[in-house]
Amino acid sequence: MLTSLMHLTRQLMSTRKLRRSELTPSPSLLALSHTCCCLNQPRVLRRPSLFSLSSQKFSPSTSKIIAELKAAGALWIQFDEPTLVLDLDSHQLQAFTAAYAELETTLSGLNVLIETYFADLTAEAYETLTELKGVTAYGLDLVRGTQTIELIKSNFPKGKYLFAGVVDGRNIWANDLASSLSTLQALEAVVGKDKLVVSTSCSLLHTAVDLVNETKLDDEIKSWLAFAAQKVVEVNALAKALAGQKDEAFFTANASAQASRKSSPRVTNEAVQKAAAALKGSDHRRATNVTARLDAQQKKLNLPVLPTTTIGSFPQTLELRRVRREYKANKISEDDYVKAIKEEIKKVVDLQEELDIDVLVHGEPERNDMVEYFGEQLSGFAFTVNGWVQSYGSRCVKPPIIYGDVSRPKPMTVFWSSTAQSMTKRPMKGMLTGPVTILNWSFVRNDQPRFETCYQIALAIKDEVEDLEKAGINVIQIDEAALREGLPLRKSEHAFYQKWAVHSFRITNCGVQDTTQIHTHMCYSNFNDIIHSIIDMDADVITIENSRSDEKLLSVFREGVKYGAGIGPGVYDIHSPRIPSTEEIADRINKMLAVLETNILWVNPDCGLKTRKYAEVKPALSNMVAAAKLLRTQLASAK
């Protein structure tokens, strides 16, 4: 029974959209140390709550599951309630209290731990949590919830355990043990020596597994890091130190690594720091409004009504992956590699011309992950060999590590984009990943605010944009797929994040000519609630996921939001092998035309085509172009 419940719990936890990998936790929950990942312990179960604020009760199966756990010998049960860090109103908090009251009898005889994480608790949520009956312990994130410490100091219930999350479960930096020990000692005076448990701030599912697996990281950078296995060691070292058994050698080595990171010339680049600091007081907008820019771009590009394009990548075949792998392993020469990539680009260009697509892409055959590819060419980034974390479902990624100030030593994409443009007379898009997405899909340094790091990345991308323009690339796409993903959990923090995120994007392209058309692409999210920030990005054209969300995006425009730039809501879902018909795509375009002006609408798929096969891509794109042409004919006839 426990095995099946653990499997259920894993499935439930995997639905949260955060990158993660798993680690067997500390062997004892109550040895004054704890990790928030307790799935593999034989007598302790960790469950995400099945409680629904809307229904004001737990799932009917919850009581049955708890009873079965008790019968199986479980001593503790952990409920994950990160919902509590959101902006909950009094009605929702009352529903939370009522739901746990309903379980009070069922939970009798068990030690109950409720974990919250990822942000501070409000005073009201903290009061609700600590007044719950039948609860033994509270687990609080004291890394991202630093203000929660003051709530604990002002009022912590007597006789309850505090699971103090002082070791960061969401990043890969070594803990500052001296600072954490000081925090714990202050909390010990409030909670009591026998009631304080040292813990990670959240589950260790969000970080890589073990530094031991990293054989290619240099020793200095490696000394600054702690993956999941190392975090367990940190938790236990802090617990022992708190109990008077401090490992002086371990703490000394940690202090040395902390000092090394602060003083290393690899971390700080004064020129980059000054350039980023100078950005804060400026707006960085293009001088001309988008309507005038679109007119200038149309005169240069001469595109038809409902222009067609794709998002960037084309299928990455087994042969293409083999070529990249062998080049990286020095098994083929650079000349052979360049020749193979040029041949792949030519194939992609020829196919797009054959399909009669209006604005082309080079297909990105030289690229691995869309963030890793750029990080490998920027200073301030490090890379792991086995630092995989879960992205979604069974897909995993290997996020770059941003350890220092970011700059661009040399052009990154100009050669390949120029090569592709030389193969066609049609506009060729330069393809870049935006600064916010690079930031949000990396392990980010924690020694300065995230927005400062983002501004540094933006300046590096700005250099690339301007070099692409000088090389004759008139259409440049700067993808910001993860813009909404970085939105803070608390609404009070939304405005500040959106301000610097949008500013970072504008920095990248504020210096180009009116005739250079700037595109951006967004996917993976419902963007309705940040549509005004998207407008404020001031891109000339935005292509955006639409078909997978049942065209919810269009509801924004039905409700009166005005958008004067070009926009391409995706006309078919590339995540499915299904090939949409011409009629189906034409119907989607007609729905868009009901709420969007004809002169701003673009026709494109939802996302890049990297994961698809050519047998699916060719007919789908052919039908997409046919649908656009059909609508052009109908629009011309209507006139």
Residues catalogued as catalytic? 575
Separate counts of helices (H) and strands (E) for the chain: 23, 17
From the number of C-beta atoms within 10 Å of its C-beta (0-12, 13-18, 19+), residue 474 rates as buried
From the number of C-beta atoms within 10 Å of its C-beta (0-12, 13-18, 19+), residue 22 rates as middle
Residue with tokens 């109990």: 243
Measured CA to CA, the distance from residue 152 to residue 162 in angstroms comes to 9
Measured CA to CA, the distance from residue 328 to residue 475 in angstroms comes to 30
Say which residues have a Cβ less than 8 Å from residue 615's Cβ, sequence separation at least 6: none
Measured CA to CA, the distance from residue 357 to residue 426 in angstroms comes to 9
Query: What is the maximum alpha-carbon separation in the chain?
Result: 85
Measured CA to CA, the distance from residue 606 to residue 548 in angstroms comes to 8
Say which residues have a Cβ less than 8 Å from residue 628's Cβ, sequence separation at least 6: 306, 307, 308, 589, 603
Rounded to 5°, the CA angle 357-362-364 comes to 130
Cβ-count burial 139-151 (b if 16+ within 10 Å, e if not):
bbbbbbbeebbeb
Measured CA to CA, the distance from residue 13 to residue 39 in angstroms comes to 11
Measured CA to CA, the distance from residue 521 to residue 634 in angstroms comes to 28
